[in-house]
Every structure is written in C-alpha cells, then in structure tokens.
Amino acid sequence: MKILLTGVAGFIGMGVALRLLARGDEIVGIDNLNDYYDVSLKKSRLDCLQPHPRFRFVRMDVADRPGMSALFATEKFDRVIHLAAQAGVRYSLQNPLAYVDSNILGFANVLEGCRHTQVAHLVYASSSSVYGGNTQMPFSESDNVDHPVSFYAATKKANELMAHTYSHLYGLPTTGLRFFTVYGPWGRPDMALFLFTRAILQGQAIDVFNHGKMQRDFTYIDDIVEGVLRVVDRVASASLSHESAPADPASHHAPYRIFNIGNNKPVSLLDFIACIESALGKKAVKNYLPMQDGDVPVTFANTDALSEWVGFAPSTSLEYGVGQFVQWYRDYYRV
C-alpha cells in the first residue's frame, strides 16, 4: 500500500515506518522537525529510514493547509497514519496555541485530505490523557471522557470528535488509538524514562511528582507498533446498525473505532525508578514534589476491545523494555 505517515521523525513514527517498509509498503513521511525537543535525535531517526528505496521524506507542517491539500491530491494515498502532534501534557500549560495549530488545525487538514481523495482508512493517535480525572479502573473505551484535565487532552478528545463527524458525514473509516505511556529505544527526551536515565547517569536528582504516589500503564514501543499495523490493516466499520440505539460511547453507527493500546498493567512510579536503577546499576537521588497541574495519579488500559478486534494486546515486561532502552541510550550517547 501507499501510506502517508505524519510525524515520521517522531518516536512512534519511526518505529511504524520501519515495520511498514519491511513488509513492502511505500511510505511518504512528513514531519516539521520542530524544536520541541532535540532535532538531532529526530534527524537520527530519519537517517534510519532514508536508505529504504520505498521511503520518501517531505518536510512539512500538518498545519500547512495548501501544502497538505497538494500532497494529498498528488500522491493519492491508500491509507493514512496520523501521528504528528504537539506532544506533552506539561508544555500545554505554557503554550496552548501550539496545540491548536498542530493538533486541531493540523488534524482538520488531514481529515480534509482523506475526504477529498477517498482514503480507505485513517488511523490516528489519540491519548490515554482523554480519560482525565476518571477514577473507574481500568479505563475503558465505554467510559465518559468529557472531563479532560489538560489542554493537550482536550485537543485529543477534539480529534476523536472530529474523526467521528467525518466518519458519519462522509463515510471515512477512522480508527483512533489511545496510547498509554509509550517507552523504549529512540524514545522522547521529555519523557520520564529518558529524563531519569540521563539524570541518574549524571549524578543529578530526579523529580518524583506526587511524592511517588503515581501509577502508569507503561507500553513498550514494539507493542505499540504491532498494534498500529494490525489496526491499519483492519478498516474501521460501524459497530451498530442504523436501527440500534448507541448503548455506550464506544458504539457507533459510523465507520469509526476507538481503542486503548496499553500494557493493561499499571506500575508504580517508585517501582519504575527501581527498574531503571537496576538496569543502570546506579541509584537515583530523588527529589519528591507535589502533583503537577494537568497530571493524573493513575492510568490503566482495558485492552479487551483491541484484542477482540485485531487479536493482539501489548504484554512486554517493564524489565525487558527498560533494559532495551538503557542499552540503546548507552550506545547512542556513548555513556
């Protein structure tokens, strides 16, 4: 297939692109290479993709309406995997307009491109952050998600609403994936695993928010990539007939699906840190702090729907995943 992959220089984008190329797909990858974090890391990811003859990179911002329109019209994609976004819960407290440009306007441009060129399936990144202050565990796609606690989460919820509208009005099959704390080799420098590993190796203190009373459903990158590929290949369809009444938020008359993609096993922040210490062979100096605005104490994915839909759910152990990251980090930064 000919696939547009947005955010191709990102952590998940690179992993998905490598797997698609390995199986024979043609990839047009776009990224604006912004400086939200180290651009050299993004360029190193691209260096892993550039040698493939079926890969082409276009430097473009998804918020560029004329550019996106021309790209869709020229290329005629079979599928679109939309991973480009302004990431980060904490940064959204300081610069919310960056999230409007990338996550709202950018997503609208992707939807319009898919609509006007009859793309057969749009798969896009949502986030576990849409669950906001939900306290019922584990988080289910049937839960109400009307109470986001960060602007980043609000933009991801908006993406789901926008996708549903296009699925309903234009018959565009869309599938949203609510990613749960993705980690692993080539990961983002603003994420806890990267920050903690660097600080511990440098003998610096790490910030432990909510005094360590946090739990996260850490999900290894290879599991995320496998889930994305399986979902891309199974085109979204309606889960209800037009005669049926929606019983819950996960049921739809339109060709629209939403799935959690997480490890279904929350880990305490202190256990996570202990795992990093073990892999590094070095203890952390901890700086205990209160909860940050926009954060939530626990994330926990119910993955039954994903498993039923594509026969797969993440299961990689934290010990293995952290070990793989630490090995990559030492190799990449020569430490």
Looking up tokens 């990811």 gives: 45
pLDDT over 80 at 236, yes or no: yes
CA angle 212, 180, 220 (to 5 degrees): 95
Measure the CA–CA gap between 81 and 204, rounded to whole angstroms: 38
pLDDT over 90 at 154, yes or no: yes
String of b and e for 45-76 (b: at least 16 CB within 10 Å)?
bbeebeeeeebebeebbbbbeebbeebbeebe
The answer to whether 116 touches 76, Cβ cutoff 8 Å, is no
pLDDT over 70 at 246, yes or no: no
Q: What is the pLDDT of residue 245?
A: 66
Q: Is 288 a catalytic residue?
A: no
What are the angstrom distances between the C-alpha of 253 and each of 64, 125, 167, 168? 32, 21, 9, 8
Tell me what the mean pLDDT of segment 302-329 comes to. Answer: 97
pTM of the model: 0.96
Residue 178 three-state SS: strand
Q: Which of 36, 91, 124, 152 is catalytic?
A: 152
Q: What is the pLDDT of residue 124?
A: 98
pLDDT over 70 at 242, yes or no: no
Q: How confident is the model at residue 252 (pLDDT cuts 50, 70, 90)?
A: confident
Instruction: List Cβ neighbours of 51 (8 Å cut-off, separation of 6 or more).
Output: none
Residue with the larger pLDDT of the pair 279 and 251: 279
Measure the CA–CA gap between 124 and 54, rounded to whole angstroms: 22
Percent of the chain with pLDDT over 70: 98
Q: What is the pLDDT of residue 294?
A: 80
Q: What is the pLDDT of residue 43?
A: 98
Per-residue pLDDT tens for 30-87?
Answer: 999 999 999 999 999 999 999 999 999 999 999 999 999 999 999 999 999 999 999 8
Measure the CA–CA gap between 313 and 293, rounded to whole angstroms: 31
Token pair, residue 142, equals 């049937």
Q: What is the pLDDT of residue 248?
A: 76
Neighbours of 112 (CB within 10 A): 16
Q: What is the pLDDT of residue 89?
A: 82
Residue 172 three-state SS: coil
Per-residue pLDDT tens for 101-148?
Answer: 999 999 999 999 999 999 999 999 999 999 998 888 999 999 999 999
Per-residue pLDDT tens for 260-313?
Answer: 999 999 999 999 999 999 999 999 999 999 998 888 889 999 999 999 999 999
Measure the CA–CA gap between 210 and 60, rounded to whole angstroms: 38
Token pair, residue 21, equals 């190329």
What are the angstrom distances between the C-alpha of 86 and each of 90, 106, 156, 224? 11, 10, 10, 19
Looking up tokens 């898919």 gives: 114
| Mean pLDDT over each residue of the chain, to the nearest integer | 95
Burial of 175 (0-12, 13-18, 19+ CB in 10 A): buried
